[in-house]
Structure 1
Amino acid sequence: MTFPGLQALKRDRFFHLLLIIGAGLSFFVPFAPHTWPAAIDWRTIITLSGLMMLTKGVELSGYFDVLGRKMVRRFATERKLALFMVLSAAVLSTFLTNDVALFIVVPLTLTLRKLCEIPITRLIIFEALAVNAGSLLTPIGNPQNILLWGRSGLSFAAFTWQMLPLALVMMVSLLVVCWFAFPDKRLQYHSGTTGPEWKPRLVWSCLALYIVFLTALEMKQELVGVGLVACGFLILARRVLVSVDWTLLLVFMAMFIDVHLLIQLPVLQHVLHSVSGLSQAGLWLTAIGLSQFISNVPSTILLLNYVPPTVLLAWAVNVGGFGLLPGSLANLIALRMANDRRIWWRFHVWSLPMLAWAAAIGFGLFLLI
């Protein structure tokens, strides 16, 4: 029995880069492999495991084919379909978190490739940017907001209100860019595509398991939840467990270990200890820059040890999700699910200008309010 992700892992240049970075960092920090397991955020790994199984279950049920066929009939042009998918990704991320939104939107997007001619790679890139923009609005949109909300003592409404100006600017900006990135031409349908055959029983089972999994997460029993989901598929559809790209979890583990090694560098420790004395512009650039290399969630955790959970910090770490691939774990999820080697560099063609715009307009907006 072979796992489909194993060959992909051998060709995964980002995973190879993570291994090289980890090996290089080991020469500059104490070599202590026994501390590496503690550096991994196992709650994130377990949560991803459950979401990957549930998404793959819906995908193998054929329901995404049914939904995709209805969508391409509803949206006659490439631009309208792209705007709908990008806006849907952003809205879903506000209350389902950015990672969960991608696990719903990206597999659906991939099914569109079977039905019509549309630049799938570009669309997935915009969906990744959309969940970063949409999720910054609410306290539950992404992990860094959950952390900042808990430390701030603000109500749900108050936190959302302070994030609203940046969220609006970024979503409007993204939709404008999306308007020009996708032409207003009629969708070209693939001829000879047969009507989808789907399995309603598997779809409803996935929905039931999803509710069980979410309940377990709310009760802080994520390991029990993922075990119940795995047992459910073991009984209902074993091929789901075989079809999941489990190697994505190895990529995340390598990333967590690299971050653990990186933050031990003496030069970074010196920078962090001087953070509390930085000006507003200095803190803004530090939070955004740090996020580019260790992701915005670890950056938030680190910076909260030195500065309070202010609006400036909340805006900065969310802006840091744009730009380089490691800026947000959502970027990695979306691009990995696309299974296209070209997407890794094409992503930066759109994300880096978006980072520059977000950093400039965001700080200017902050000074105005």
Structure 2
Amino acid sequence: MLLNLVRPFARDRFLHLLLIVGVILSFAAPFQPQHWVHAIDWHTIITLAGLMMLTKGVELSGYFDVLGRRMVKRFDNERTLAIFLVSAAALLSTFLTNDVALFIIVPLTITLKKLCAIPINRLIIFEALAVNAGSMLTPIGNPQNILLWGRSGLSFGEFTWQMVPLALAIMFSLLVLCWFCFPHKKLTYHAHDKLHDWQPRLVMSCVAFYIIFIVALELKQEIWGLAVVAVGFLLLARRVLLSIDWSLLLVFMVMFIDVYLITQLPVLQQALSGINQLPAGGLFALGIGLSQFISNVPSTILLLNYVPASLLLAFAVNIGGFGLLPGSLANLIALRMANDRRIWIRFHYYSLPMLLWSALLGYGILLLLKQL
């Protein structure tokens, strides 16, 4: 049992790389370990832990098997199934945030692999791109928008309206790409597979725990909400807690510390001192470029110290979620859940072209709006 818990940490090459980077940065940035605990966004870690337990509970209940079989029978070809899943991921991310949408869509997608022959890795990649596209629409779609909304002084509707052109343009582009990347190939249902039993009691418990957890998050009592969920599974279904990839939480914690160390680099702080003097194009490129290496949420936090929460900044950091893997934490969540090393390289075959195209779209829309 202990070996099963330790094994993911020992095999996690990405975690090992982040630890090595952190050690190197410790020699270049001011070394203050007592500040590292404050560098971690504990709200994100606690939220992620709760969602991991809840989705794993639904997965082990067998309900995704039931839902997956219904979906396979409803969609007769690969293309329509892919477009439905990608659209669903984007729609869910607009009001449930991008990471929550992934915790619903990706486990369901993985279940479909047992029911029919589908390109599972390609589907998960497109779902990761979809939540980045869909979540940029609303102020609550992702953490960077929550930050920008709070600083902008705009209403919910005003913020959403200003993001509509970019969100719709990128989502339409992604669906067109999805049309060409997934063939009109008939899905073959594995009729010989046994119909899996599912556990309604565990599913209903997960729903109840989810409601409690969300209410706790709203009341800023997330630690108590997490405790209720953890104790509930400990009493009801201990195997849920033993089946979770806990190393993912450590990956996020080390990422937060690494980003903190990067922002403390004297050379970076000196370079950022002149940000408010950059032209619009320079700030746009900086927001996208920074996101590629320290993720778009830390980039937003960093840049808001120097520039106002403008539409240009919102476009830049949201577009920055595409491209390299660190661009958005949602990318990491989706690819980790796929549990296939080949997906890490293949992700960039689609995400890098999406980054370039989205940057062109975004800057073009900004120039057009400036003319109006």
Counterpart secondary structure, 2:363: helix
> Which portions of structure 1, spanning 4 or more consecutive aligned residues, are displaced by more than 3 angstroms?
2-6
Matching residue's letter, 1:194? K
Partner of 2:287: 287
Partner of 1:82: 82
**What pairs with 1:340-355 in structure 2 (closer than 5 Å)?**
340-355=340-355
Partner of 1:309: 309
Confirm or deny: 8 A CA contact 1:78 1:183 kept in the other structure: yes
Structure 1 residues 172 and 3 mapped into 2: Cα distance closer, same or farther (>3 Å)? farther
Deviation at 1:4, TM superposition (A): 4.3
Matching residue's letter, 2:335? L
**What pairs with 1:248-327 in structure 2 (closer than 5 Å)?**
248-327=248-327
Partner of 1:192: 192
Matching residue's letter, 2:34? H
For residues 126-170 of structure 1, give each alpha carbon's deviation from its aligned partner in whole angstroms, at most 9, with x where no partner exists: 000000000000000000001111111111110000000000001
Partner of 2:208: 208
For residues 210-248 of structure 1, give each alpha carbon's deviation from its aligned partner in whole angstroms, at most 9, with x where no partner exists: 000000000000000000111111221111111111111
CA distance, structure 1, for counterparts of residue 28 and residue 184 of structure 2: 53
Partner of 2:43: 43
Confirm or deny: 8 A CA contact 2:98 2:141 kept in the other structure: yes
Confirm or deny: 8 A CA contact 1:98 1:132 kept in the other structure: yes
> Quick one: percent identity of the two aligned structures?
71
Partner of 1:233: 233
Partner of 1:34: 34
Q: Which moved more, 1:274-283 or 1:261-270?
A: 261-270
**What pairs with 1:131-150 in structure 2 (closer than 5 Å)?**
131-150=131-150
Matching residue's letter, 2:88? S
Counterpart secondary structure, 1:307: coil
Deviation at 1:3, TM superposition (A): 6.0
CA distance, structure 2, for counterparts of residue 230 and residue 241 of structure 1: 8
Q: How many residues align?
A: 369
For residues 83-105 of structure 1, give each alpha carbon's deviation from its aligned partner in whole angstroms, at most 9, with x where no partner exists: 10000000000000000000000
Within the alignment, does 1:123 sit opposite 2:123 as a pair?
yes
For residues 164-198 of structure 1, give each alpha carbon's deviation from its aligned partner in whole angstroms, at most 9, with x where no partner exists: 00000010000011111111110123352111210
CA distance, structure 2, for counterparts of residue 39 and residue 96 of structure 1: 25
Taking structure 1 as the reference length, the TM-score comes to 0.98
Partner of 2:168: 168
Partner of 2:359: 359
CA distance, structure 2, for counterparts of residue 145 and residue 72 of structure 1: 35
| Gap regions ≥5 residues in structure 1 | none
Taking structure 2 as the reference length, the TM-score comes to 0.97
Q: Which moved more, 1:172-181 or 1:9-18?
A: 9-18
Partner of 1:247: 247
Structure 1 residues 319 and 4 mapped into 2: Cα distance closer, same or farther (>3 Å)? farther
Counterpart secondary structure, 1:81: helix
Q: Alpha carbon RMSD of aligned pairs, Å?
A: 1.1
Counterpart secondary structure, 1:189: coil
Counterpart secondary structure, 1:176: helix
Structure 1 residues 147 and 161 mapped into 2: Cα distance closer, same or farther (>3 Å)? same
Within the alignment, does 1:100 sit opposite 2:115 as a pair?
no
Deviation at 1:26, TM superposition (A): 1.5
Deviation at 1:19, TM superposition (A): 1.4
CA distance, structure 1, for counterparts of residue 191 and residue 63 of structure 2: 20
Confirm or deny: 8 A CA contact 1:94 1:137 kept in the other structure: yes
Matching residue's letter, 2:286? T
CA distance, structure 1, for counterparts of residue 183 and residue 16 of structure 2: 36
